[in-house]
Amino acid sequence: MPQPTTVLFVCLGNICRSPLAEGVFLHLANQRGVAHRFEVDSCGTGGWHAGNRPDPRSIAVADKHSINLPSRARQLDASDADRFDLIIAMDASNRDNLINAGVHAGKVRLLREFDPTVDANRADRDVPDPYYGGPDGFDDVYDMVLRSCDALLDLLLGSSDR
């Protein structure tokens, strides 16, 4: 049995975007019958919300699509850089924070590098922080996360496994 691929989704607070990405990725992996091939987690570069459930607006958008968000917020830990094969930042500032915290840049990707609707040369490939906006922002985040996680799974599995 090969070792599972370990994937860590990272945002700032770990209550809005990265728990949604974690839940969506797992949901898609379950739908494809390949969840056993992955270990997935999420964290924030900041620790303000450690121990908290995801933001109710993230829970609401996930519920709308019958996706469970079981995680509790936690802050990035020094061991994460070694524990995870792939560390996926929601935006460029999360990526900078990860690299400043000592995570090797080669392990860090932006989630929307995998979004098939985003031109690879586009400078802005952020999943925008929806925390201070309204619920529409969470629907937009969900759409970006869904497209990106689906394409990421294709890549990790190899297109022949679809």
Residues of this chain that interact with ligand 4NP (CB under 6 A) are 11-17, 44, 48, 129, 131
Distance, in Å, from the CA atom of 118 to the CA atom of 8, rounded to the nearest integer, reads 22
Catalytic annotation present for 17: yes
Catalytic annotation present for 74: no
Q: Identify the active-site residue in 80, 115, 129, 150.
A: 129
Catalytic annotation present for 129: yes
Q: Which residue is nearest to ligand 4NP (CB)?
A: 13
CB of 69 to ligand 4NP, least distance (A): 12
Residue with smaller CB distance to ligand 4NP, 48 or 65: 48
Residue with smaller CB distance to ligand 4NP, 74 or 131: 131
Residue with smaller CB distance to ligand 4NP, 26 or 127: 127
CA distances from 21 to 2, 8, 98, 121, 149 (A): 24, 10, 17, 23, 7
CB of 158 to ligand 4NP, least distance (A): 30
Residue with smaller CB distance to ligand 4NP, 49 or 147: 49
CB of 119 to ligand 4NP, least distance (A): 24
Q: Are 89 and 110 in contact (CB under 8 A)?
A: yes
CB of 18 to ligand 4NP, least distance (A): 6
Q: Which residues are catalytic?
A: 11, 17, 129
